[in-house]
Structures are given as structure tokens and as C-alpha cells.
Amino acid sequence: MKSEEISRRLAELEQKVTLMFKSIDCTKVVGDVLMECPETILSKVTSSGLSGRGGAGFPTGIKWKGAAEAEGGMKYVICNADEGEPGTFKDRQILHVQPDKVISGMIICAHAIGAREGYIYLRGEYNFLLKKLISRCEYWNDYLKKKGFDFTLFVRSGSGAYVCGEETALIESMEGKRGEPRNKPPLPVTSGYKGCPTVINNVETLAYTVMIMSEGPEYFRSIGTKDSMGGKVFSISGDSPRKGVYELPLGMTLHEFVDIFGDGDTKAVQVGGSSGTCVPRKHFADTIIGFEGVPTGGSMIIFNSSRSMYHVLRNYLEFFQEESCGQCTPCRVGCQQLLKGLEAIKTGKRPHSYLDKLRSLAITMSVSSKCSLGQSLVNPFNSITGHFREEVCY
């Protein structure tokens, strides 16, 4: 494809969804929303079809409704800005460019569920954003005070553990404890921060709620597909001439995606970061980016033919063996065994058949780990070793 053609297609795609980076008057939106009753907000969010943009895709309306209905004198809204998935950097961009939308989303949520405090849990490595966020929070705190709305915003800085992006580990971390996921149930919507009902949403999810309020849920629903409504902000990296952050509709095929973002020599795309699925070229045409196909928190890493999938996988496993919180057996030991085993196969210390044992270990990890970290490792491991067995073994 010629570059003009690519630019035209990209422009077309971007035209379809222009929510996130569109400038709007957040003060006005928030002012209007605070006049509405919580039920109206909840029904708007629910009918928009918005689902969690961190990757898990839990319906936002249901989450908010759960917290709204939960009993508790104190309720909290937490913005999960602990963006740690390798290959993901869209929240950083959103917070950088649209902090007011994120904060407004928190205020909308607070009004909907009856929360009196909100926290932005900012990834430790993003501390360059700290000053800006604190000053924006101060601005909004003043604004809310004048409005007579009892909600205060705070910023908390993470300390660098990947697992703290997992919502219950994030809560533990906020409470000053080791960042380890909790046993579920109870879910945070009934018992979260300090044991109180808590909504934890991704940066992008919160920002989208503002757009839903300003543009209407019907508009949001009209973008994307039946199963994956709305737009999505993608972080595109790897062997791409167009690396960066893009807002695109959900539901396109990987084929369409690679045509625009690939370098013409794309071998595979890692959808959803290191804990996502690796899709090889032969499946590009029939793979939809969205909850009906490969879900993603926004990370798209493109590999061309010069990349060794063995090294890609080993790199992921090295990351996970360090970033597992270490409390549950399948994840703590499993991650190490997948890495050690992979290396042993490559160096001939274990037979190729050992790979099958590791693949079944990955499945065991997916059903027996405590949280989604250990549960999702099967995605990269079994997709890469399944599609690129030769590269991994020889």
C-alpha cells in the first residue's frame, strides 16, 4: 500500500472516533452531571456499553451500580493509573493531555455511587506527571467545594510493582501493605479500600465516561461493534513506522490494523501487551480486535520477520518471573519454570517434548492462580509456543 493510501485509511479510522482527545469544557459537563440524579448517570453509563479499558473489559455500568448499591458510610473512587503492561503507554498520554477528563470521570463516578474521596494511583515511573495531577486535583477540589459537592481528590504514587495494577493489589498498596492481590470474593465494589465499597477504573474508562455524558450514550454505542462498543486508545509499538498513541474504533480485524501500522513485513502482533495473545500473520484476517476476538488493554506490539519469537517470549517470562507478586504457587513458581524450561529446551538440556509439559503447566496456571497475572500467562506462552514452536525449540 502506498503511504498516501495508508494515511487516508488511518484518517478515516480516526474520524470514526474522536472522543478522547477532543477538547471539551469539562467544568460544564461536570456542572451539568452534578445536577442529575445518580440513577440517570448509572443508566447512561450502562446503556453506553462502556467496558473496562484496562483490558479485562468488565462492564463499567455494572461495576458502578454494584458500588452504588453497596452499603457503607464511606465509598471511594480510585483511578488506576498504574499503567505497567509492557507495550502500553496510552494512559500516560491521556493523563498528560487530558487530566481534566480523567478527574471529571472520577467526579461523575463519585456522584453516581456516593463516594466522598477519590484517589489517582499513579505509576511510580510516571512521577513526572505528579505535579501536574496534584495541581489539577487542587483545582477541582476548589471547584467542588464551591459547588458544595463533598468529594476530595488525592494523588498516590505507586512504587514500581507491576502487580499493583491488579485492583486488589493496588488497594493493598494504597493501604501501605505489600502489593499482593486479595482473595476474591469480596470484590472491591463491596469491600475495597479500607474495607469500603470502592470503584477502581482505568484512566481511559474514566475519561470516556465524561465523553458519554457530553456526547450521549447513543453516540458512544454507535462506534465499534455489538460486543465491543466505543472507541479505544491504542499504544502501538514495535516494528511499525507509525508507533504512538491512537484512538481507533474497536472491532477492526488485525489485517486492517497491520495494513496501516505494520511495516509490510509483519510476522506477528502481540495484542494486549505481554500478558496478551500473540497472533501470527496467518490469522490476521480472521482476528477481530475486541472482546469478540482478541481483547486488549490497548497494547499492540508489532513484530517483523527479523524478530526471534524465542527472545520475545523469554523477555516476557523474565518480566513475569520478577513481577509476579510471589504469593501463590502457580504464578510464583510457574513463571520461573516456564522461563527455565524454555531456556533448557533451547539449549538442549530438556527434550522438545518438555515444551508440552510447559504448555500444560501454563494451562494449570491459568485455572489455579490467584489473580489475573498468573491466569493470563497462558496467553503469550501458549500462543507463541503454539504458532512458533520451531523458533522456540531450535
Which SS3 state, helix, strand or coil, does residue 23 take?
coil
Least distance (Å) from another protein to the CB of residue 335? Answer: 7
Binding-site member from 7, 40, 315, 364 for another protein (CB under 8 A) = 364
Q: Using only C-alpha atoms, what is the Rg of the chain? A: 21
Binding-site member from 341, 377, 379, 392 for another protein (CB under 8 A) = 341
Binding-site member from 370, 378, 379, 388 for another protein (CB under 8 A) = 370
- DSSP assignment, residue 187? P
The one segment of 27-35, 275-283, 298-306, 322-330 that binds another protein by CB under 8 A:
322-330
Q: Which is nearer to another protein, 170 or 325 (CB)?
A: 325
Closest CA to 207 of 359, 361, 30: 30
Is residue 337 part of the contact set for another protein (CB under 8 A)? yes
Closest CA to 204 of 68, 124, 92, 295: 92
Is residue 332 part of the contact set for another protein (CB under 8 A)? yes
Is residue 178 part of the contact set for another protein (CB under 8 A)? yes
Is residue 326 part of the contact set for another protein (CB under 8 A)? yes
How many CB atoms are located within 10 Å of the residue 116 CB? 15
Max CA pair span of the chain: 70
Q: Are 268 and 281 in contact (CB under 8 A)?
A: yes
Residue 129: CA count within 13 A, CB half-sphere: 26
Q: Are 119 and 174 in contact (CB under 8 A)?
A: yes
Is residue 73 part of the contact set for another protein (CB under 8 A)? no
Binding-site member from 335, 355, 378, 384 for another protein (CB under 8 A) = 335
Is residue 134 part of the contact set for another protein (CB under 8 A)? no
Q: Which is nearer to another protein, 288 or 335 (CB)?
A: 335
Distance CA 58, CA 291 (A): 10
- DSSP assignment, residue 83? -
Is residue 359 part of the contact set for another protein (CB under 8 A)? no
Is residue 352 part of the contact set for another protein (CB under 8 A)? no
How many Å from the N-terminal Cα to the C-terminal Cα in the chain?
34
The one segment of 81-89, 205-213, 299-307, 358-366 that binds another protein by CB under 8 A:
358-366
Is residue 34 part of the contact set for another protein (CB under 8 A)? no
Q: Are 95 and 103 in contact (CB under 8 A)?
A: no
Is residue 369 part of the contact set for another protein (CB under 8 A)? yes
Cβ-count burial 323-360 (b if 16+ within 10 Å, e if not): bbbeebebbbebbebbbebbeebbeeebeeeebeebbe
Least distance (Å) from another protein to the CB of residue 116? Answer: 29
The one segment of 63-71, 138-146, 264-272, 336-344 that binds another protein by CB under 8 A:
336-344
Least distance (Å) from another protein to the CB of residue 31? Answer: 42
Distance CA 101, CA 208 (A): 8
Q: Which is nearer to another protein, 179 or 224 (CB)?
A: 179
Binding-site member from 273, 276, 334, 380 for another protein (CB under 8 A) = 334
Is residue 308 part of the contact set for another protein (CB under 8 A)? no
For 27, 78, 152, 222, 263, the CA distances from 118, given in Å and listed in that order, are: 17, 6, 6, 30, 42
- β-strand 277-280 against 266-271: which pairing, if any? antiparallel
**List of residues contacting another protein (CB under 8 A):** 161, 163, 178-179, 183, 185, 320-330, 332-337, 340-341, 344, 350, 357, 360-361, 364, 366-370, 375
